[in-house]
Amino acid sequence: MAIQQGMTTWRKSSYSLAHGDCVEVASFRPRSIAVRDSKEPQRPALGFSPEAWTAFVSTVTDGTHGS
């Protein structure tokens, strides 16, 4: 899914390393969540449906991701 990255607010993980390399997330409500590499913000972002993003975050949060 192509994501227009114009004027939006990107959030960086609070677990980001001191030198700032991390994943950033932005919400294009109500239709998509965008994810990009903070080292290369000019590159295209990946897009996910809100449902897919919620499912991913839930599995990471509850520890079932990769099991």
Query: What is the DSSP track for 9-46?
Result: --EE-TT--TT---EEEEEETTTEEEEEETT-TTSPPE
Mean pLDDT of 34-55: 89
Measured in degrees and rounded to the nearest 5, phi and psi for residue 44 equal -60, 145
The encoded tokens of residue 13 equal 């993980």
pLDDT for position 18: 65
> What are the tens digits of pLDDT across the range 30-40?
788 999 888 88
pLDDT for position 10: 84
Dist CA 45 CA 64 (whole Å): 25
Q: How confident is the model at residue 9 (pLDDT cuts 50, 70, 90)?
A: confident
For residue 30, whether the previous peptide bond is cis, meaning omega lies within 30 degrees of 0, is yes
Dist CA 51 CA 27 (whole Å): 12
Mean pLDDT of 48-61: 90
